[in-house]
Copies of this chain bind each other. A is one copy, B any other.
Amino acid sequence: MRFTSRTSSDGVTEQLFTLASDFGEIPGALWTPDDATAGRPLILMGHGGGQHKTAPGIAARARRFAADGGFAVAAVDAPGHGDRPRTAEHDRIITELRTRAQTGGDVSPVVAEFHALLAGQSVPEWRAVLDAVQELDRVGAGPVGYWGMSMGCGLGVPFVAAEPRVRAAVLGLNGAETSAGAAARITVPVEFLVQWDDQMVPRAASLALFDLFASAEKTLHANPGRHGEIPAFELDSSLRFFARHLG
């Protein structure tokens, strides 16, 4: 793991890094309270499709988790996203997605295909990132949570199912198409967000994914609005959820 920059504002230190892996260099970002020491809880954040490790919705939430919850937070560019190269297969699927979106076609099966393709790479990548971040003096091997909406949920479900170090997850804005089998293997507490008027994820598919989680504690929060229009008070709720389960 090689750090390439370090800045601090409002009590939160942001460090950019790259991690060598079997899949090439993984660019990432780490947020910690300025005075961070080892043993603190860590939240891994998975960004949405077309976004990247420091997209505004990721960075703002990460800073809030670090500042108000005392968490360490890590995000990485998903395969084919941010500073990472796209393959011809990525390009083919993205073109298909755009065509369907522009012509009013059904994007769900293509989104599911894309998530399934990326998850084969992102699950082992997240495990490598987690190994490396837990080695850091500022983080250590404390309890781990996962936060991911939309594609961050599509890739997060198989990761949370596969990784026993993850003890709690906030997921949402995604349906059951890609990850039904993995969802049924998740047993940790889950807070699941649904946008009631989501134009990209059918409501029934969202409810079906929530239904599949095998967690004894799972809670669904649905709010009016379109994909991505999650109300601000849900960030407070996510923070309390992680504090309750990782604190």
A92 contacts B by Cβ under 8 Å? no
Question: Would you call A222 and B224 a contact (CB within 8 A)?
Answer: no
A210 contacts B by Cβ under 8 Å? yes
CB of A240 to closest CB in B, whole Å: 8
A244 contacts B by Cβ under 8 Å? yes
A61 contacts B by Cβ under 8 Å? no
Could you tell me the distance between the alpha carbons of A211 and B222 in the complex, rounded to whole angstroms?
10
Task: State the copy count for this chain.
Answer: 2
A88 contacts B by Cβ under 8 Å? no
Q: Report chain B residues within 8 Å CB of A218.
A: 223-224
Question: Would you call B233 and A224 a contact (CB within 8 A)?
Answer: no
Question: Would you call B231 and A217 a contact (CB within 8 A)?
Answer: yes
Which chain B residue shows the least CB distance to A218? B224
Question: Would you call A219 and B210 a contact (CB within 8 A)?
Answer: no
A99 contacts B by Cβ under 8 Å? no
Q: Which residue in B217, B219, B240 is a CB contact (below 8 Å) of A221?
A: B219
Which chain B residue shows the least CB distance to A210? B222
Could you tell me the distance between the alpha carbons of A240 and B218 in the complex, rounded to whole angstroms?
20
A199 contacts B by Cβ under 8 Å? no
Could you tell me the distance between the alpha carbons of A220 and B224 in the complex, rounded to whole angstroms?
9
A60 contacts B by Cβ under 8 Å? no
- Would you mind naming 26 contact pairs between A and B with Cβ atoms under 8 Å apart? A194-B220, A196-B210, A196-B211, A196-B220, A207-B207, A210-B222, A216-B224, A217-B223, A217-B224, A217-B231, A218-B223, A218-B224, A219-B221, A219-B222, A219-B223, A219-B231, A219-B233, A220-B220, A220-B221, A220-B222, A220-B223, A221-B221, A222-B222, A233-B244, A236-B240, A237-B237
Which A residues have a C-beta under 8 Å from some C-beta of B? 194, 196, 207, 210-211, 216-224, 231, 233, 236-237, 240, 244
